[in-house]
Chains A and B, each alone.
Chain A
């Protein structure tokens, strides 16, 4: 059974992405205004994808903390919970590989190394795609493309779909890595 975070990613987030895809298709046709309209749909899609992935990562982090908290009966458990949450990057920053690594490494593991362990080249490719997605997200959110070396006419739908596929694969892998790690730590599978 997957984590609650992964279930939400596969249901709520997927529905939101499918609705954007639908809106994109609804703008179909070779009309003169289409490229301009789909440009903004693409921009909305990028921000939506990044924000839902941030929510997934935050939720998974919270689930992991509360699993440890629940299975620790010592008086230290509140201290542990408090410090695992303190200044968590995913509460305020984009879900960049760096922010994700900084927050999940707090669970005493080298998170990205384990994420990439089963397929290093593919894992590295997905990590790079996530970095790309967040670069675009920042450029769109701040309407500042030049300092990111980007052009507002991009990204194309094809590229966004690649990012979405990478996020899907990473979400499943994050869930797997953390489940195994937490089960080793506590002797109980968290989900």
Chain B
């Protein structure tokens, strides 16, 4: 059986990111491109938390994105 091709991350995707000990659900808002220093593509994400009035944004390297959430 052929290996399942990894889905390309796209703007608007809802993903899971692991930041420290906390797993967050997040929306991809920007593809910042490949950064040699980080060893991969960097994405700007909005962390989804119903308890916050305003979204919190952060940047993650693709290896920190653990799985698509949908």
A14 within 8 A of B: no
Q: Among the listed A67, A75, A85, which residue makes an inter-chain contact with B58, where contact means beta carbons less than 8 Å apart?
A: A85
Task: Give the residues from 91 to 136 in chain A that come closer than 8 angstroms, CB to CB, to chain B.
Answer: 91
Q: Among the listed B19, B35, B39, which residue makes an inter-chain contact with A82, where contact means beta carbons less than 8 Å apart?
A: B19
Please indicate the chain B residues that have their CB under 8 angstroms from the CB of A82 in the complex: 19-20, 58
Please indicate the chain A residues that have their CB under 8 angstroms from the CB of B21 in the complex: 75
Task: Give the residues from 16 to 43 in chain B that come closer than 8 angstroms, CB to CB, to chain A.
Answer: 19-21, 32, 35-39, 42
Q: Is A63 touching B19 in the complex (CB atoms < 8 A)?
A: no
Number of A residues whose C-beta is below 8 Å from B? Answer: 19
Q: How far is the CA of A191 from the CA of B42 in the complex (A)?
A: 18
A4 within 8 A of B: yes
* Number of A-B contacts defined by CB within 8 Å: 42
- Contact status of A85 and B57, CB under 8 A, knowing A63-B35, A75-B20, A78-B19: yes
Number of B residues whose C-beta is below 8 Å from A? Answer: 16
A70 within 8 A of B: yes
Q: Is B37 touching A4 in the complex (CB atoms < 8 A)?
A: yes
Q: How far is the CA of A78 from the CA of B58 in the complex (A)?
A: 11
Q: Is A86 touching B35 in the complex (CB atoms < 8 A)?
A: no
Please indicate the chain A residues that have their CB under 8 angstroms from the CB of B59 in the complex: 62, 65, 85
Q: Is the interface of B mostly helix, strand, loop or mixed?
A: strand
B38 CB to nearest A CB, Å: 4
B65 within 8 A of A: no
Q: How far is the CA of A111 from the CA of B35 in the complex (A)?
A: 23
Please indicate the chain A residues that have their CB under 8 angstroms from the CB of B57 in the complex: 85-86, 91
Task: Give the residues from 28 to 70 in chain B that come closer than 8 angstroms, CB to CB, to chain A.
Answer: 32, 35-39, 42, 44, 56-59, 61
Q: Is A66 touching B37 in the complex (CB atoms < 8 A)?
A: yes
Q: Is B20 touching A66 in the complex (CB atoms < 8 A)?
A: no
A58 CB to nearest B CB, Å: 8
Please indicate the chain B residues that have their CB under 8 angstroms from the CB of A190 in the complex: 37
Please indicate the chain A residues that have their CB under 8 angstroms from the CB of B19 in the complex: 78, 82
Can you give 18 A-B contacts (C-beta < 8 A)?
Answer: A4-B35, A4-B37, A59-B35, A62-B35, A62-B38, A62-B42, A63-B37, A75-B20, A75-B21, A81-B58, A82-B19, A82-B20, A82-B58, A85-B58, A86-B56, A86-B57, A190-B37, A191-B37
With contacts A4-B37, A91-B57 known, what are 6 further pairs, Cβ within 8 A? A63-B37, A66-B38, A70-B39, A78-B19, A82-B58, A85-B59
